[in-house]
Amino acid sequence: MNWNGIQAIWRFEMARFFRSIIQSIVSPVLSTSLYFVVFGAAIGSRIQEVEGVSYGAFIVPGLIMLSVLTQSLQNASFGIYFPKFIGTIYEVLSAPISSLEIVIGYVGAAACKSLMIGAIILITSFFFVDISIAHPFWMVAFLVLTCVSFSLLGFIIGIWAKSFEQLNLVPLLVVTPLVFLGGSFYSITMLPPIWQTISLFNPVLYLVSGFRWAFFGMSDVPVAASLVAITGFTALCLGIVWWIFKTGYRLKA
Amino acid sequence: MPSIVSVKNVRKSYDDGFEALKGVSLDIEEGEILALLGPNGAGKTTLISTICGITTPTSGSISVGGFDVSADYRAARNLIGLVPQEINLEPFEFVMNTVRFSRGLFGKARNDALIEDVLRDLSLYEKRNNRTVELSGGMKRRVLIAKALSHEPRVLFLDEPTAGVDVELRKDMWELVERLRQDGVTVILTTHYIEEAEAIADRIGVINNGEILLVEDKTALMARMGQKEMRIELTEAATKLPESLSDYNLVLSDDGASLVYSYDTKAQRTGITSLLKDLQAAGLGLRDVQTSQSSLEDIFVGLVKESS
């Protein structure tokens, strides 16, 4: 293993994060606080408890997921797209470093960044609502798996994208709607039956549900289903990444 | 000498049918400076990219230091440093960090002392804490070289290192290549400038339309360049060359109005004095005499024209 190489990529990517530290940290803290003010305090005060959990606390897992998914996609896709765009990718391609090591470096850094943002949002939420975490181990496990799998997806998008527009297209048109419709801010039991059934086809529902179970011990779908979904999704992304490097798709001529 | 880079019958064709390399074979000896000359689009960059692993060849094999660049890519790439033609640099990164990054990427442990030496050699030391975006074009190119040298390569590829750089940097670059040669580093550079190839290369390769037209020792090429021609215009057209002049390397033009004499300027005697005497003896009157020298440029242009 070329550990120095992995470390070099990881550090380089993390440096990008810390160069814009204000934006990296202040932005999620601010937007989370706004969500708490609007959803938690203003609207939440008119909403009954959801299955015994106050609405303000109920939305915490969804809020964390919303940010973590978006940040993972953004960081990972930009991390690999930018070197392609400015041409510095030549160095990575000509270095004695394997595809696996490249992925560990880029995806690992992106996942670390979103993990940090997730932690910051969780800490912020302690200032607004009372929350206790029922299954801390599973909470961390779901969070890490989500960071990794969506950073992998972001990496794939970054390699696929040929322009900045395409880079933003998937997160904007696909992921944001899925997150909002995936029960981030409500339990799907609040929906009419037909929409409950449709929601079951939304992969993000399984993430949010499993993550919320780790907090409050309640979920929209069985926890096992959530675990299978996220593991399956990670495996799918790994498969696509493997294919990309095998064929050199949009990386090598 | 053993060849450190061995390219065997490498072809590269793209999906649209364009064939960038048409069966290129090339052996590069350890420690030599090879200049690859060729017009734009000749395949110089494709060849380098294929050796360095950025482009996958359609067929053929390449080894560096005896290691196959595909099967044994780690060992092969460890030996290679690449300075690309385009100035590709992360704009907001500091010079020191970006060079450090390159060393790490190639699996080498951090060694700031070595990197500082490389920066000093390239007159970049003062700029080590600048962001790359703040540097001039020439300085950026030096950063690219520093990155390529940061992991102590044994083979250095310089793709058009002096395209669009000022005289001072070009001179620095030539000195750098000389220093690398003394350290035993093999240098392959592509260039448009024939004087550059003349000034620093041991061997010169000419490539056009994806084919290597010639790889020759520079001195052998220079010897060919030493050939001069003297065109002698006669006052009266001759029908055939007089018998007494048959010992000279003379060619009579088709219309008989002029003679072309080829000679070697580096030989002890050019034979011009005796030729002129013998011409007079043969009764031929001279209207005018012109001499011209064939240059590497002529050879190059001739080869490229022939192959196009």
- Kindly provide the ipTM of the predicted complex, given to two decimals: 0.87
CA distance B266 to B246: 22
Taking CA–CA distances from A95, the nearest residue in chain B reads B106
Query: Mean pLDDT throughout B71-93?
Result: 93
Question: Percent of chain B beyond pLDDT 70?
Answer: 97
Taking CA–CA distances from B148, the nearest residue in chain A reads A91
Quick one: pLDDT at residue A191?
A: 87
CB contacts, 8 Å: B75 with chain A: 96
What's the CATH code, domain B3-223? 3.40.50.300
Q: Which of B14, B93, B105 sits opposite A92 (nearest CB)?
A: B105
Q: Which of A4, A8, A96 sits opposite B77 (nearest CB)?
A: A96
| Beta carbons within 10 angstroms of residue B18's beta carbon | 10
> In terms of pLDDT, which residue wins out, A132 or B152?
B152
CA distance A85 to B137: 19
Quick one: pLDDT at residue B281?
A: 87
Q: Please determine, for residue B58, whether its predicted confidence score (pLDDT) is greater than 90.
A: yes
Q: Please determine, for residue B80, whether its predicted confidence score (pLDDT) is greater than 80.
A: yes
B304: confidence class by pLDDT, cuts 50, 70, 90: confident
B165: confidence class by pLDDT, cuts 50, 70, 90: confident
| Contact assignment for B106 to A5 by CB distance below 8 Å | yes
> In terms of pLDDT, which residue wins out, A33 or B148?
B148
Taking CA–CA distances from B91, the nearest residue in chain A reads A86
| Contact assignment for A252 to B56 by CB distance below 8 Å | yes
Quick one: pLDDT at residue B43?
A: 92
Give the phi and the psi of residue B208 in degrees, each rounded to 5.
-155, 145
Show the DSSP H helices in A21-95 as ranges: 21-35, 55-86, 89-93
Q: Which residues contact A241 (CB under 8 A, 6 or more apart)?
A: A99, A103, A152, A155, A156
Quick one: pLDDT at residue B225?
A: 64
Q: Are strands B250-252 and B19-29 parallel, antiparallel or unpaired?
A: unpaired
B291: confidence class by pLDDT, cuts 50, 70, 90: confident
CA distance A234 to A237: 5
Taking CA–CA distances from A101, the nearest residue in chain B reads B105
CATH 3.40.50.300 in chain B, residue ranges: 3-223
Residues of chain A with pLDDT under 70: none
CA distance A7 to B159: 28
Q: Which of B101, B106, B147 sits opposite A12 (nearest CB)?
A: B101
> In terms of pLDDT, which residue wins out, B293 or B105?
B105
Cβ atoms of residues B36 and B189 within 8 Å:
yes
Q: Which residues contact B175 (CB under 8 A, 6 or more apart)?
A: none
Quick one: pLDDT at residue B270?
A: 83
Q: Which of A5, A19, A92 sits opposite B107 (nearest CB)?
A: A5
Task: Identify the residue among A94, A97, A99, A245 best suited for mutation to test binding to B, counting B beta carbons within 10 A and taking the highest.
Answer: A94
CA distance A204 to A167: 20
B188: confidence class by pLDDT, cuts 50, 70, 90: very high
Quick one: pLDDT at residue B308?
A: 67
Quick one: pLDDT at residue B101?
A: 96
CATH 3.30.70 in chain B, residue ranges: 227-293
Query: Mean pLDDT throughout B254-267?
Result: 83
Lookup: tokens for B107: 């699996």
CB contacts, 8 Å: B82 with chain A: 90-91, 94
CA distance B246 to B128: 69
CA distance B298 to A197: 78
Lookup: tokens for A120: 């910051």
Domain count along chain A = 1
Query: Quick check: is A182 in a domain?
Result: yes
| Beta carbons within 10 angstroms of residue A58's beta carbon | 26
In the chain, the amino acid numbered A73 is L
Lookup: tokens for A123: 């800490």
Candidate from B4-18, B76-90, B132-146, B215-229 with smallest mean pLDDT? B215-229
∠ CA B232-B236-B240, rounded to 5° = 75
For residue A157, the surrounding DSSP H or E stretch is: helix A136-160
Interface of B with A (CB under 8 A): 14, 49, 52-56, 73-78, 80, 82, 84, 86, 88-93, 97, 100-110, 147
CA distance A121 to A128: 11
Q: Is B65 left (phi over 0), alpha (psi -120 to 50) or beta?
A: left
CA distance B51 to B61: 9
Q: Please determine, for residue B200, whether its predicted confidence score (pLDDT) is greater than 80.
A: yes
Q: Please determine, for residue B263, whether its predicted confidence score (pLDDT) is greater than 90.
A: no
Candidate from A218-227, B143-152, B213-222 with smallest mean pLDDT? B213-222
Fold classification of B227-293 (topology level): Alpha-Beta Plaits (3.30.70)
| Contact assignment for A253 to B109 by CB distance below 8 Å | no
Question: Percent of chain B beyond pLDDT 90?
Answer: 53
In the chain, the amino acid numbered B135 is L
B292: confidence class by pLDDT, cuts 50, 70, 90: confident
CA distance A114 to A171: 15
Task: Identify the residue among B68, B103, B105, B141 best suited for mutation to test binding to A, counting A beta carbons within 10 A and taking the highest.
Answer: B105
Taking CA–CA distances from A82, the nearest residue in chain B reads B90
Domain of residue A16, residue span? 3-247
Query: Quick check: is A252 in a domain?
Result: no
Q: Please determine, for residue B294, whether its predicted confidence score (pLDDT) is greater than 70.
A: no
CB contacts, 8 Å: B10 with chain A: none
∠ CA B156-B125-B52, rounded to 5° = 20
Show the DSSP H helices in chain B as ranges: 44-52, 73-78, 95-105, 112-121, 137-149, 167-182, 194-200, 218-225, 272-281, 296-307
Query: Quick check: is A131 in a domain?
Result: yes
Report CA Rg, chain A: 19
Quick one: pLDDT at residue A33?
A: 85
**How big is chain B, counted in residues?**
308
